[in-house]
Amino acid sequence: MRLFLRDNLHFLRANGRWIGGGFLLTLFSSFGQTFFIGLSGNAIRAAFDLSGGEFGGLYMIATLASAASLPWLGRTLDLMAGWKVVRFVMPMLALACLLMAGASNIAVLVLALYLLRLFGQGMMTEIAFTEIGRWFAANRGRAMALITPGLQLGNALLPVIFVAGAQALGWRGAWIAAALAVLLLGYPAILKLMRVERVPQSSDPHISETRTARDWTRRQVIRDPVLYLLLAGTLAPPFIGTVIFFHQGYLIALRGYDPLVFAAAFPVMAVTTIVFGFLCGHLVDRFGALRLLPFFLAPLAIASLAVGLVTPVWGIYLFMFLLGISNGFTQNLMGALWPEVYGLANLGGIRAITVSAMVLSTALGPGITGAFIDLGVPLPTQMLWMAGWCVLASLALAVAARIVRRREA
């Protein structure tokens, strides 16, 4: 353990600039993530007189539009340096926060949601994972494990901060504070850290064991049947996590949970994600992402069962713990998987396709489950269906991994 910690500290000291930039990108992506938007879900529904299904439908429309925009916007990472992309992405994210704060009608609300999803969840994570995937080769898994805790720090701190801020300033005031944080704290720090590019060094340890596939074009990737097998499984975590985060207000009301007690469960997920993220990073560097694919959905299947079957409030803590295990593996696997399957030359455009699909899944989740809730199917029942999805998706991932290993051999 001491050697493990010393090795990681040495790696972090040598690459602190690039790891720090990626960490802050994932942290500030929180303002466009569903868990953060969902914190003001009840207030938004009350302000605009929306049912759960209606709000879910609007959210789905906005997120679908962002998913359609992302493949085109994400290609900028193949044309210019990541820090140059940050120069227009983060001001747009701050503008989205201000639009949310000042939304006076449904049209402005949908526009704010669209910009939050496109520039927050979409482009901020797209920049982070694309740049880290290019900057690191032999230690790609370790580097991913060090930047993904940024999002977990957001998961741990922002729900409690936002709830407290909304109580003091109102939910609109809390969104104004979010815009100021993006512009005054995140923007200058990320630009300063990312201005210097990193090239994988021949002195990096185990460089001969680098797992990177031959380079595919975007056209070839879209026509590849394996892509859709991989998406069938890799989209389950964002879909299921989004459903819980978006409908947290509904679940709190359904089971009579205290909102602060519910919010206090987020740090459990955050800490667990970080711990298992480092474990996954080590396993990815040792075995490769493909070998881990068939197994990483098992914790998510059990987590879905926990929401469906356990009604006391400790069931949410159990869910957050298991979701943290799933997230720890998911976030690191998704960072390392696509270079292993499709190479590096067009990674920005290819990741834009996969991130767009991920955003699409987070769009469909609230809309579909909200419609079922309005039809009288409670969310806990739907979570049992999602556990079954995880089991079937694991089988699809096993088939996909076998095909990829065979054709690369």
Of 362 and 150, the one with more pLDDT: 150
Identify the structural domains of the chain with CATH numbers, from first to last: 14-195+212-408 (1.20.1250.20)
Closest CA to 119 of 131, 127, 130, 110: 127
What is the spatial distance between Cα 244 and Cα 236, in angstroms, rounded to a whole number? Answer: 13
What is the spatial distance between Cα 216 and Cα 207, in angstroms, rounded to a whole number? Answer: 22
- pTM of the model as a whole: 0.69
Mean pLDDT confidence for 259-274 = 81
Q: Would you tell me how many other CB atoms lie within 10 Å of the CB of residue 308?
A: 20
Mean pLDDT confidence for 186-196 = 90
- pLDDT at 387 exceeding the cut of 80: yes
Cβ–Cβ < 8 Å for 308, 384: yes
- pLDDT at 25 exceeding the cut of 90: yes
Specify the pLDDT at position 4: 54
- pLDDT at 206 exceeding the cut of 50: no
Residue 366: phi and psi, rounded to 5, are: -60, -35
